[in-house]
C-alpha cells in the first residue's frame, strides 16, 4: 500500500543524466576543437598570417602573439596530438592567452568579467521569474476574463520582443530623449570599480536600463508558460476538488496552484540562469555593459580565437551544468516526478 | 475531405489571433517582395551625407555610411525573409526526414537520431551557430541560412518522430491497410491531414526563429557580412552607436519589423496548434 | 416522495421541483428537470441511472458545484433548514462545504493535491472552517484515522504514496472530519477493482454507522454496488426520478419498465425468476437515452418502452405513491 521512497533509482537516474551531460560536453569540445581546423582556408592560420603581416605594431608584441597562438593551437602538430594537448590544457584550467587583451590569460579575463554578467542576469531573471509566474497564476485564476485577456496580449507581445530590441528602445527613450540614465557602459569612464558609495550609485545608474530590458522581456515567457500550466492544473481533478469540493480559501488555492505549477518553472529558472552568460551577450553589446558578452563581442570582432574558444567552453559548461542541476532538481523536488522516476507502487 | 479541409480553414480564420497574424505576415511579405522592385535605390551604395534624417529626399534618411535607409529596409526585409525561408526549409526537411526514419526504422537508427538530437538540444543552437559562423570568414545569406538550418532541427525532429509513431500504431491506419487501400492513398487520405497542421506550425515557428537567429548572430558579429538583412542594419547601427546618438531611423524600422514578423508567425503557429490539439 | 415524514430529526435535505440546465450553444440541456428529494432521517439513498441521465449533474448541484454553463433554473436546496440558494459562493465555502455537506467526487482517486502532504492539506482545509489550532486539528485527524482503521503514517505522506483505494478512504475521512449532515458520493467506486471497492464501501458504511454523517447520497450507474449499502434506491431517467423504494422492494419488484430493464440487466439471474428475465430483456434498454435538449413529449421513456400507450406520448405521468414510501411515475400504475 504505502511506498517508501528508495534512493537508488534516483542515483541511477542522476548517473545516467551525468553520462549524457559528459557525452554532450565531449561532443561540444570536439566541435570547438575541430571547427576552426576543418573550415577551408583555416581561419586560425590566416589570423596568424594576418598578424605577421602587420596589424600589431610593436615587433616584440607581434612575436609574442605569434608564439602564443602557435602555442595555443599547435597547428604544426598532427591533429590527434593537437587534440590531446587541447584536452590536457583544459583539464589544467589553461584556456590560453588572449590576443586582444595580451598578455592577460583567457581564464583571468573570464574571471574578471563573469561577475558583472552574473550581477546583471541573476537578479533580473529571478525577479522576472517571480513576478511573471505570479501574474501567470493570477491570469489563470481569472481565465477568459478581461484581466486575463489584457495580460495575455501584453505577455505575447513581450515574448516577441527580444531583450536587446527592448534595450534599444529603453536607451532611445530614457537615455537619449529623456536623459535620465546613461546610454551605456558599466560605470562612468575614468572610474575604477571599488566598494564605495559613489561607485555603487554610479554603477546602479548604469545598471537599471539593462536590468529592465532583461527583466521586462523575460516576463512574457514566464507568464505565458505559467498561465498555461496553471490552467491545466486548475482543470485537474485535485484542484477542482480542492476549490469546489472542500472549499479551500482563495488565498490557499493560489498557494497550492503556485506550488503545483511552479515546479516545472523552477527547472526553467535553472536552465535560464545557466543561459545567463549566453543570454546576456546581445544585451551587453547594446548597452556596452562590461560583462562576458561584451568581451565576447570584442573578441569576435578582433578575431581573438583563444578568447572566443575559451568563452564558448565556459558558456557550454555552465549551460550543461545548469541543465543537469535542473534535471536533478526537478526529479528531487516534484514528488510526482520523483515518483515517476522511482516508478513502483 | 475537401469540405472538411475548407471547414477547418474557416474555423482557423475565425480565430482572431490567426487572422491578425496572417494579415501582418502578408503585409510584411508584400513589402519584402514588391518593395525593392518599386523603390529602385541601391541599398549598398553611398548616395549622400551620413545621418540625413527622414525627409523628402530620403524617406527614411541615410545611415552611417550615407546609404539610403528605406532601400536597406526593403532589401533587408527581403534578405531576412530569404534567410527565414531557406533556414526553416532546411531544418524542417531534416526534422521530418530524421524524425520519420527514426520512427519507421526504429532500433539503431532510432537510437542514433535520438542521441544526436538530445545532444543538439542540450547545446543551444544559437551557440552552435556562433561557433560555426565565427570561423567562417565570408558569410553570405546562404551560409548564414544553412548554418541556422542545420543547427535547429532537433526539437522538431523529436516531435515528428512521436507523431509518426502514434500514426503508425493507430487503429485507422491498420483498418485502411486491411481494407486494401493503396499506400499512396493512405498517405494522402490519412497521414497528410494529421501531419499537415503540425508541419505548418513547425514551419511558422522555425521561420520566425530563423529570422530572429539571423538578427542575433549578425548583431554579435558572426552573422551576415555581405547581404543586406534586418540583422545587418541593426549591426551597422550598433557599431556606429546610432542609438546613443538618437538616430532612431536606422533602428526603429528593422527592430519593429523583426518583432512583427516574429509575433505574426508565433500567432499563426499557436492558433494552428490550439485548433488541432483540441480536436 | 414529496411528503415530509415526521421523524425525530428535522429535514436534512429538502429539494423541491429542482431544475438545473446547461445553457450551451447547441441548446439548453435539461439535465435535471423537476426533481423532488427530501431526506429526513438517517439513511443511505442510492441514485441510479445510465450515464447521461443527469445524476452527476444532480450531485454537482447538491454540492454547489454549479458553474456556467450549468445553472440552477428552479427549486431551492434546503440543508439542515438552511436555504442554500441565497448564499454567496464564499459563504457556502466557509459555512456549508465540509460542515453541512461533504462531497466524494467521481475522480476521488486523483482528488488530493499531489504536491501537498495529507497532514498539511487537512490543516489548510480545517483551519479556516473551524478556527482550531494546528494541534487540535491533528488530534482530530489522528483520532478519526484510528477510528476508521486508516494508517496514521498516511498523514505524513503525499497522496501518490498511497494506493488508489487508500487514497479514496483517506479522502472520505478528510471530507467527513467535521461530521457533516450529508455526504454525497458521486460514483466513488467506479475506478476501483472489486476488492478495493469493497474496502471503500466498508469505510463509507463505517462512517454512516458511527454517526459521523447522518445521511449519504450514493450516486452510481452500478446497482450491484449500490445495493450493498443503501437503504433506498431512486431510479433516475432523462433528468427525472422515475421510481423510488426501499432497496429490497426495488430489487425484487421494480415497477417502472425502465427500472425493470436496469435492475434485471445487472443483477445475477439466480435471484430472479427466469420468466422475469425474459420479460426484462424485452424492456431491456434498447436504444440510447434521449437527448436532454429536446426530451420526448409525455413520458420521457416512451420511445424505448414496450408498454407505451397513447397517453404516454401525450402526457407526463405523475409521481404516485403505490404503497407506503413506494413511488413510481408511470401511467401503468395510475388508476383511472
Chain B nearest-CA residue for A181? B244
C228/C245 Cα distance (integer angstroms)? 15
Q: What is the DSSP letter of C319?
A: P
C63/A34 Cα distance (integer angstroms)? 68
Q: Which three cell numbers stand for residue B225?
A: 557580412
A234/C92 Cα distance (integer angstroms)? 20
Amino acid C78: pLDDT: 86
Which candidate in A19, A272, A282 is best for mutational testing of the B interface (most B CBs within 10 A)?
Answer: A282
Amino acid C275: pLDDT: 58
Question: Is there a contact between B146 and B87 (Cβ–Cβ < 8 Å)?
Answer: yes
Question: Hey, which bits of A127-247 come out as E strands?
Answer: none
End-to-end distance of chain A based on CA atoms, in angstroms?
Answer: 8
Amino acid C297: pLDDT: 85
C246/A322 Cα distance (integer angstroms)? 66
The answer, for A301 touching chain C at a CB cutoff of 8 Å, is no
The total number of residues written for chain C in this structure: 336
Average confidence score pLDDT of chain A: 81
Average pLDDT over residues B254-276: 88
Chain B nearest-CA residue for A42? B135
Q: Is the pLDDT of residue B279 over 50?
A: no
Q: Is the pLDDT of residue C324 over 60?
A: yes
Average pLDDT over residues A141-162: 87
Average pLDDT over residues B46-57: 81
Amino acid A53: pLDDT: 57
Amino acid C233: pLDDT: 92
Q: Is the pLDDT of residue A337 over 60?
A: no
Q: Is the pLDDT of residue B182 over 80?
A: no
The ipTM of this complex is 0.82
Q: Is the pLDDT of residue B90 over 90?
A: yes
Q: Which three cell numbers stand for residue A220?
A: 512574457
The answer, for A178 touching chain C at a CB cutoff of 8 Å, is no
pLDDT tens-digit profile of A179-202? 888 888 878 777 777 788 888 888
Q: What is the DSSP letter of C114?
A: T
**Residue for grid cell 440510447:** C288
In three-state secondary structure terms, B64 is coil
A9/C28 Cα distance (integer angstroms)? 53
CA distances from A191 to A5, A143, A149, A184, A286 (A): 56, 51, 47, 14, 21
- The correct CATH number of B2-48+56-278 out of 1.10.3720.10, 3.20.10.10, 2.60.120.460, 3.40.640.10 is 1.10.3720.10
Average pLDDT over residues A295-312: 83
pLDDT level of residue B179 (50, 70, 90 thresholds):
confident
pLDDT tens-digit profile of A92-147? 888 888 877 777 888 899 999 989 998 999 999 999 999 999 899 989 988 888 88
Q: What are chain B's partners, defined as 3 or more CB pairs within 8 angstroms? A: A
The answer, for B278 touching chain A at a CB cutoff of 8 Å, is no
Which candidate in C60, C95, C103, C111 is best for mutational testing of the A interface (most A CBs within 10 A)?
Answer: C111
Q: Is the pLDDT of residue A342 over 80?
A: no
C-beta atoms of C113 and A252 within 8 A: no
Question: Is there a contact between B118 and B179 (Cβ–Cβ < 8 Å)?
Answer: no
Give backbone dihedrals phi and psi of A58, rounded to 5 degrees, phi first. Answer: -80, 135
Q: Which three cell numbers stand for residue B197?
A: 497542421
Which candidate in A6, A247, A334, A339 is best for mutational testing of the C interface (most C CBs within 10 A)?
Answer: A247
Average pLDDT over residues C248-259: 86
Amino acid B118: pLDDT: 82
Q: Is the pLDDT of residue A2 over 50?
A: no
The answer, for C208 touching chain A at a CB cutoff of 8 Å, is no
In three-state secondary structure terms, C46 is strand
pLDDT tens-digit profile of C3-15? 444 444 568 888 8
Q: What are chain A's partners, defined as 3 or more CB pairs within 8 angstroms? A: B, C
User: Who among C109, C124, C158 is closest to A248 (CB)?
Assistant: C124
Amino acid A1: pLDDT: 44
Q: Is the pLDDT of residue C1 over 50?
A: no
Pick the range with the lowest mean pLDDT from B21-25, C49-53, C251-255.
C49-53
Q: Is the pLDDT of residue B109 over 70?
A: yes
Residue C154 half-sphere exposure toward CB, CA atoms < 13 A = 28
Tell which wins on pLDDT, C260 or C336.
Answer: C260
C56/C184 Cα distance (integer angstroms)? 11
User: Who among A1, A252, A335 is closest to C163 (CB)?
Assistant: A1
Amino acid C302: pLDDT: 85
pLDDT tens-digit profile of C26-72? 788 888 888 888 888 888 999 988 877 888 888 888 877 777 788 88
Pick the range with the lowest mean pLDDT from A70-74, A218-222, C127-131.
A70-74
pLDDT tens-digit profile of B199-247? 888 999 999 989 988 988 888 877 777 788 998 898 888 888 888 888 8
Could you tell me the domains of chain A?
111-304 (1.10.3720.10)
Tell which wins on pLDDT, A210 or A40.
Answer: A210
- Name the β-bridge partners of C184: C103, C217
Q: Which three cell numbers stand for residue B200?
A: 505548418
Pick the range with the lowest mean pLDDT from A130-139, A315-324, B115-124.
B115-124
C-beta atoms of A259 and C116 within 8 A: yes
C281/C96 Cα distance (integer angstroms)? 44
Interface of A with B in 97-116 (CB under 8 A): none
Average pLDDT over residues C283-311: 79
Pick the range with the lowest mean pLDDT from B121-135, C190-204, C303-317.
B121-135
Average pLDDT over residues A17-35: 86
Amino acid B207: pLDDT: 92
Amino acid A334: pLDDT: 61
Which candidate in A232, A236, A241 is best for mutational testing of the C interface (most C CBs within 10 A)?
Answer: A241
Q: Which three cell numbers stand for residue A62?
A: 607581434
Q: Is the pLDDT of residue C271 over 60?
A: no
Closest CA to C56 of C181, C184, C223: C184
Amino acid C139: pLDDT: 92
Average pLDDT over residues C173-200: 85
The answer, for C188 touching chain A at a CB cutoff of 8 Å, is no
pLDDT tens-digit profile of B140-153? 888 889 888 988 89
Interface of C with A in 67-106 (CB under 8 A): 67, 92-94, 96-98, 102-103, 105
Q: Count other C-beta atoms under 10 Å from residue C34's C-beta.
A: 17
Amino acid B78: pLDDT: 92
Amino acid A343: pLDDT: 40
The answer, for A267 touching chain B at a CB cutoff of 8 Å, is no
Give backbone dihedrals phi and psi of C245, rounded to 5 degrees, phi first. Answer: -175, 175
Q: Is the pLDDT of residue C280 over 80?
A: no
Q: Where are the alpha helices (DSSP H) in A92-162?
A: 106-141, 146-160
Chain B nearest-CA residue for A296? B220
Tell which wins on pLDDT, C307 or C270.
Answer: C307
Amino acid C162: pLDDT: 87
Average pLDDT over residues A75-87: 79
Amino acid at each position: 500500500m504505502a511506498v517508501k521512497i528508495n534512493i537508488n533509482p534516483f542515483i541511477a537516474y542522476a548517473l545516467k543524466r551525468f553520462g549524457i551531460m559528459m557525452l554532450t560536453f565531449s561532443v561540444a569540445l570536439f566541435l570547438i576543437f575541430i571547427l576552426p581546423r576543418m573550415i577551408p582556408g583555416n581561419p586560425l592560420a590566416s589570423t596568424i598570417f594576418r598578424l605577421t603581416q602587420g596589424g600589431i605594431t610593436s615587433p616584440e608584441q607581434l612575436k609574442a602573439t605569434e608564439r602564443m597562438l602557435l602555442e595555443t593551437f599547435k597547428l604544426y602538430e598532427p591533429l590527434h596530438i593537437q587534440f590531446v594537448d587541447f584536452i590536457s590544457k583544459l583539464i589544467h584550467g589553461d584556456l590560453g592567452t588572449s590576443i586582444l587583451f595580451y598578455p592577460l590569460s583567457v581564464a583571468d579575463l573570464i574571471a574578471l568579467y563573469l561577475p558583472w554578467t552574473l550581477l546583471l542576469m541573476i537578479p533580473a531573471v529571478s525577479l522576472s521569474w517571480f513576478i511573471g509566474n505570479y501574474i501567470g497564476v493570477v491570469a489563470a485564476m481569472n481565465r477568459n476574463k478581461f484581466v486575463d485577456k489584457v495580460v495575455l496580449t501584453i505577455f505575447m507581445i513581450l515574448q516577441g520582443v527580444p531583450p536587446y530590441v527592448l534595450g534599444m528602445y529603453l536607451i532611445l527613450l530614457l537615455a537619449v530623449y529623456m536623459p535620465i540614465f546613461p546610454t551605456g557602459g558599466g560605470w562612468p569612464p575614468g572610474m575604477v570599480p571599488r566598494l564605495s558609495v559613489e561607485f555603487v550609485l554610479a554603477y546602479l545608474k548604469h545598471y537599471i536600463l539593462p536590468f529592465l530590458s532583461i527583466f521586462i522581456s523575460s516576463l512574457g515567457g514566464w507568464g505565458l508558460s505559467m498561465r498555461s500550466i496553471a490552467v491545466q492544473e486548475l482543470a485537474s481533478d485535485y484542484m477542482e476538488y480542492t476549490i469546489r469540493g472542500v472549499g479551500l480559501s482563495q488565498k490557499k488555492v493560489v498557494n497550492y496552484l503556485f506550488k503545483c505549477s511552479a515546479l516545472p518553472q523552477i527547472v526553467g529558472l535553472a536552465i535560464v540562469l545557466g543561459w545567463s552568460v549566453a543570454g546576456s551577450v546581445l544585451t551587453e553589446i547594446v548597452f556596452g555593459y562590461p560583462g562576458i558578452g561584451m568581451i565576447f563581442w570584442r573578441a569576435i570582432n578582433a578575431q581573438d580565437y583563444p578568447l572566443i574558444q575559451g568563452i564558448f567552453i565556459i558558456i557550454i559548461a555552465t549551460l550543461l551544468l545548469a541543465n543537469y542541476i535542473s534535471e536533478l532538481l526537478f526529479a528531487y523536488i516534484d514528488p510526482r516526478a520523483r515518483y515517476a522516476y522511482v516508478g513502483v507502487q | 475531405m475537401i469540405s472538411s479541409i475548407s471547414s477547418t480553414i474557416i474555423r482557423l480564420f475565425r480565430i482572431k489571433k490567426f487572422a491578425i497574424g496572417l494579415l501582418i505576415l502578408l503585409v510584411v511579405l508584400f513589402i519584402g517582395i514588391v518593395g525593392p522592385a518599386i523603390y529602385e535605390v541601391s541599398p549598398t551604395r553611398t548616395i549622400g551625407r551620413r545621418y540625413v534624417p527622414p525627409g523628402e529626399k530620403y524617406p527614411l534618411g541615410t545611415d552611417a555610411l550615407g546609404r539610403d535607409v528605406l532601400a536597406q529596409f526593403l532589401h533587408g526585409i527581403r534578405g531576412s525573409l530569404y534567410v527565414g525561408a531557406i533556414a526553416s526549409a532546411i531544418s524542417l526537411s531534416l526534422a521530418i526526414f530524421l524524425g520519420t526514419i527514426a520512427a519507421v526504422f526504429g532500433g539503431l537508427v532510432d537510437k542514433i537520431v535520438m542521441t544526436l538530437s538530445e545532444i543538439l538540444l542540450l547545446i543551444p543552437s544559437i551557440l552552435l551557430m556562433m561557433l560555426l559562423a565565427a570561423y567562417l570568414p565570408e558569410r553570405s545569406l546562404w551560409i548564414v541560412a544553412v548554418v541556422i538550418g542545420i543547427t535547429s532541427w532537433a526539437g522538431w525532429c523529436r516531435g515528428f518522430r512521436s507523431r509518426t509513431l502514434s500514426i503508425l500504431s493507430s487503429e485507422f491506419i491498420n483498418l485502411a491497410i486491411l481494407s486494401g487501400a493503396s499506400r499512396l492513398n493512405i498517405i494522402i487520405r490519412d497521414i497528410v491531414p494529421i501531419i499537415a497542421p503540425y508541419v505548418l506550425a513547425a514551419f511558422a515557428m522555425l521561420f520566425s526563429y530563423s529570422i530572429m537567429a539571423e538578427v542575433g548572430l549578425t548583431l554579435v558579429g558572426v552573422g551576415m557580412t555581405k547581404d543586406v538583412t534586418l540583422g545587418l542594419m541593426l549591426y551597422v547601427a550598433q557599431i556606429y552607436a546610432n542609438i546613443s546618438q538618437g538616430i532612431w531611423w536606422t533602428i526603429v524600422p528593422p527592430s519593429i519589423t523583426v518583432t512583427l514578423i516574429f509575433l505574426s508567425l508565433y500567432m499563426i503557429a499557436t492558433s494552428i496548434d490550439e485548433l488541432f490539439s483540441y480536436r | 416522495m414529496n411528503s415530509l415524514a415526521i421523524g425525530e430529526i428535522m429535514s436534512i435535505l429538502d429539494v423541491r421541483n429542482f431544475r438545473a440546465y446547461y445553457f450551451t450553444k447547441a441548446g439548453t440541456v435539461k439535465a435535471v428537470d423537476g426533481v423532488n428529494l427530501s431526506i429526513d432521517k438517517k439513511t443511505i439513498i442510492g441514485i441510479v441511472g445510465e450515464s447521461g441521465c443527469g445524476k452527476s449533474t444532480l450531485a454537482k448541484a447538491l454540492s454547489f458545484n454549479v458553474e456556467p454553463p450549468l445553472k440552477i433554473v428552479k427549486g431551492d436546496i434546503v440543508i439542515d433548514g438552511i436555504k442554500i440558494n441565497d448564499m454567496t459562493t464564499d459563504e457556502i465555502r466557509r459555512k456549508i462545504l465540509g460542515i453541512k455537506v461533504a462531497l466524494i467526487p467521481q475522480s476521488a482517486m486523483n482528488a488530493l493535491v499531489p504536491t501537498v502532504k495529507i497532514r498539511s492539506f487537512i490543516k489548510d482545509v480545517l483551519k479556516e472552517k473551524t478556527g482550531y489550532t494546528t494541534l487540535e486539528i491533528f488530534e482530530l485527524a489522528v483520532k478519526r484515522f484510528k477510528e476508521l482503521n486508516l494508517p496514521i503514517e498516511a498523514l505524513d505522506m503525499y497522496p501518490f504514496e498511497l494506493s488508489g483505494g487508500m487514497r479514496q478512504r483517506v479522502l472520505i475521512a478528510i471530507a467527513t472530519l467535521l461530521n457533516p449532515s450529508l455526504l454525497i458520493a458521486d460514483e466513488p467506486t467506479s475506478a476501483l477493482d472489486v476488492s478495493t471497492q469493497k474496502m471503500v464501501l466498508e469505510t463509507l458504511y463505517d462512517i454512516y454507522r458511527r454517526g459521523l454523517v447522518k445521511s449519504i447520497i450514493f450516486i452510481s450507474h452500478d446497482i450491484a454496488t449500490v445495493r450493498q449499502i443503501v437503504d433506498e434506491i431512486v431510479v433516475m431517467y432523462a433528468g427525472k426520478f422515475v421510481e423510488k423504494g426501499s432497496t429490497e422492494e426495488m430489487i425484487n419488484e421494480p415497477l417502472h419498465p425502465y427500472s425493470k430493464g436496469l435492475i434485471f440487466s445487472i443483477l445475477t439471474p439466480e435471484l430472479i425468476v427466469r420468466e422475469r428475465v425474459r420479460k426484462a430483456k424485452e424492456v431491456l434498454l434498447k436504444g440510447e437515452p434521449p437527448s436532454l435538449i429536446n426530451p420526448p413529449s409525455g413520458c420521457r421513456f416512451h420511445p424505448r418502452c414496450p408498454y407505451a400507450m397513447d397517453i404516454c406520448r401525450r402526457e407526463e405521468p405523475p409521481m404516485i405513491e403505490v404503497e407506503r414510501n413506494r413511488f413510481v411515475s408511470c401511467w401503468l400504475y395510475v388508476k383511472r
